[in-house]
Amino acid sequence: MTKSLDEIAKQLIDSGKKVSLIYAFNGSGKTRLSNEFKKLIASKSKDVHEKTLTRRKILYFNALTEDLFYWDNDLLNDNDPKYKLKIQSNSFISWLITEQGDEDKVISKFHHYCDKKLMPKFDIENNQITFSFARGDGRHEENIKLSKGEESNFIWSIFHTFIEQVIAELNIREPCERSTNEFDELNYIFIDDPVSSLDENHLIQLAVDLAKLIKDTQSEIKFIITTHNPLFYNVLYNEIGNKACYMLRRNENETFELEEKDGSSNKSFSYHLFLKKLLEDIEAKDIQKYHFILLRNLYEKTANFLGYSGWSNLLPNDDTKQSYYSRIINFTSHSTLSNEVIAEPTDAEKNIIKYLLEHLIKNYGFYIEKNIKEPQTDNTIE
């Protein structure tokens, strides 16, 4: 049954499950669902004052969370640029670092995912963080800028430490004994794709750590976790007991489906076969940019299963065009700049989707159903 995102948000609230684990491909509406969920929680508040305090009832991590941080690159100072990661005014981070003194915990988590030579320095008074890098000769390169992946890891490290501290506070039974009562009304924590830039080992550890945090929660907080990564989904599925599992789908008419599943991603929705079916069913006129992401995922899954060193090895063996196919899939599935993101692909790009899908199916062991006509019988009576 198709629904709007706000109807799906209501469905998640009404389920009453301790944990709702949702798998969805990129472009399916995970971030938008988290926003609709937040708005629905706000609408349940009785007056305007309570609506402004929605943050007391729900904490969420999604793509918009990273917008709380932005770089001041100081580009005018060419001789000695000072890169600073600025923080939008935020009482939660101030509480975590200044009042709770959890700076070292954040740094420890960050070093768990990134090079330990990268050292953050918090300046909460000026709402900024600077970074240095320790060279092998004992020198430190000051005021460096992080890569996008390192930045995402760092922001997640702050949020992870933050919810750990919040849960620790709420695990204290008597509210009067807590260091703050800011979170006494907290009902939900919504986490959308925490870190997509991690390698498999770190991604597994992150999922295990998150599952432990959920299991250690003694309060009535409910967790909604969405991901496009089947490995992250499967580890959480195996680590968490009392949960409801779903797959979120976006239809071409901008309606959505939240289908309840039972089992890991491979058992409950056959990840690679679902990708194949989804791409096969697309009409040429309906192909969008995000379908390149799905095609790349299918190539990656097939290459891993067959033992190829990389997904591009499965592309048509045509030296004149192989690099072109690889470039266009890489570019289209990793575009981040606003002027690169065009909703409607060209006709040539649409043809590439269909051509490369057919190539993969015909050449790498996928079962092809053949239409066999039954012999006709002549029923006329002479």
pLDDT tens-place string over residues 13-69: 999 899 999 998 878 889 899 999 999 988 765 554 444 456 689 998 988 888 899
Q: What does DSSP assign to residue 3?
A: B
Sign of the Cα torsion 239, 9, 31, 297 reads positive
Q: Six-digit token pair at 55?
A: 């943050």
Transcribe 315-378 into DSSP letters: S-S-HHHHHHHHHHHHHHHH--STTT--SS--HHHHHHHHHHHHHHHHHTT-------PPPP--
Instruction: Show contacts of 214-221: CB within 8 Å, 24+ apart.
Output: 214/18, 214/19, 214/240, 215/239, 215/240, 215/241, 216/167, 216/171, 217/167, 217/170, 217/171, 218/170, 218/171, 219/167, 219/170, 219/171, 219/186, 220/187, 221/167, 221/170, 221/186, 221/187, 221/188, 221/189
Query: pLDDT by residue for the chain (382 residues), tens digit each?
Result: 789 999 999 999 999 899 999 998 878 889 899 999 999 988 765 554 444 456 689 998 988 888 899 999 876 665 566 899 999 988 889 899 999 999 999 999 999 888 899 999 999 999 999 999 987 777 788 889 999 889 999 999 999 999 999 999 999 999 999 999 999 999 999 999 887 777 777 888 898 899 999 999 999 999 999 998 887 888 898 889 889 999 998 888 889 999 888 877 666 666 677 678 778 877 766 787 778 877 887 888 788 777 788 888 888 877 667 777 887 777 655 443 333 444 567 788 888 888 888 898 888 877 665 554 444 444 333 3
Q: Which residues pair with 87 in a beta bridge?
A: 69
Q: Is 254 left (phi over 0), alpha (psi -120 to 50) or beta?
A: left
Q: Is 16 left (phi over 0), alpha (psi -120 to 50) or beta?
A: left
Q: Six-digit token pair at 333?
A: 């599935």
Sign of the Cα torsion 138, 117, 124, 73 reads positive
User: Exposed e or buried b for every residue in 145-164, given b needs 16+ CB within 10 A?
Assistant: ebeeebbbbbbbbbbbbbbb
Q: How far apart are CA 139 and CA 136, in angstroms?
A: 7
Whether this model's pTM surpasses 0.75: no
Q: Which amino acid is at 90?
A: N
Q: How far apart are CA 269 and CA 230, in angstroms?
A: 10
Check: CB of residue 237 under 8 Å from CB of residue 34: no
Q: How far apart are CA 174 and CA 237, in angstroms?
A: 32
**pLDDT score for 366:** 74
